[in-house]
Structures are given as C-alpha cells and as structure tokens.
Amino acid sequence: MKLVLCSASPRRREFLERIGVGFSLAPAHIDETQRPGEAAVAYALRMAREKAESCARPGQVVLAADTIVVVGEDVLGKPRDRSDAERMLRMLSGGEHRVITAVCVPPRACAVETTVKFAPLTDAQVRWLAASGDGDDKAGAYAVQGLAGAFVERIDGSFTNVVGLPLAETLQMLAEAGVELPWT
C-alpha cells in the first residue's frame, strides 16, 4: 500500500527514511489555530486528523502528525520570531513540560505524551539558543536532538515523540493499515 506523509517536517521524513519505509510527500496546508477552550490533546488530535483528511487520496495510506509543547495550560507552537523563541525558552527554563504528538493514519489516531525537564537557563543561554535558529520551526522553540538537548535534564517517555514522531505507535498503525515495513 502506498504511503503519503502529510508533513513538511524534515525530522519525520528522516525517521521514515532511516527505517526504510517508502513514502511520498504531500505537506498539509491547514489553519492550525487552537480553538478557544480546546484542550491540548484534543487540539493536537484535531490537527493530525485535519492534516490527514487534507491529504487523503483513494488507494493511499496517509500519515499525518502534529506536535505541541504544553507548559501548564499554555500550548506552545512554533515561534513567530526570535523574541517569541526567547519567551518560550524562558517558559521552559528550570521546569517540566509535556510534549504531545498526535499521529493519524485514518481511521486511527492517537496522542503520545512525554514529559521533559529543562535545566534552568541563564539569559545568555536563552538568547544564544534563540539566536542559533535551531528551534525556529519547532514547537516550543527547541529541538531535543539539537543544541537545546544540552539543557534537557530528563525525558520521561518516548524520545522520538519529543523529536516529532512517536515511532513505536506510528509503525504499529502503519502495519495495521497495510503499509509494507522493511522487516515484513
């Protein structure tokens, strides 16, 4: 069964390529605005489902995902600019936050949560991380596999979820949808 990845994320693409899963790309273009009062998990699941729906074509299996960072009740998406990145990094500094990635392989969808603990960041570290651009297109303005990884004290849960695609859950859904995996 032909797989279509509905994502512009280079990390999701790289995960599938490394494993040897064949796919084509069809990045989804949807309104990603969180609705008033919408809970974080519900928001991520809605985004993944809407992305999948926007890419769905007969005879294909689609894979869509959406990753958000949640501090308290605040949902952090991708930073608008360096100032916004600094704001987000200050929110993460010295505390725990949740990374939620919702994955959709219609008709199934799931949300995976991982808790991440950041070391306290100095103003100089916040400015350096933001100025590096390493977190420009990433939820919460950081990449755990990038420069910010130096400041992550603990991860409770799936590392690949924090990068942007919880592989164990994704591969199970792909197998159930009939996608040929390299070991089958």
Which secondary-structure segment (H or E) carries 104? strand 96-105
The alpha helices in 56-183, defined as continuous H runs, are 82-92, 123-132, 159-163, 167-176
Comparing C-alpha atoms, which of 129, 131, 140, 133 is closest to residue 163? Answer: 140
Q: What is the largest CA-CA distance in the chain?
A: 52
Could you list the active site residues? 66
CA 8 to chain CA centroid, nearest Å:
11
Which secondary-structure segment (H or E) carries 115? strand 108-118
**Residue 17 tokens, joined:** 């390529």
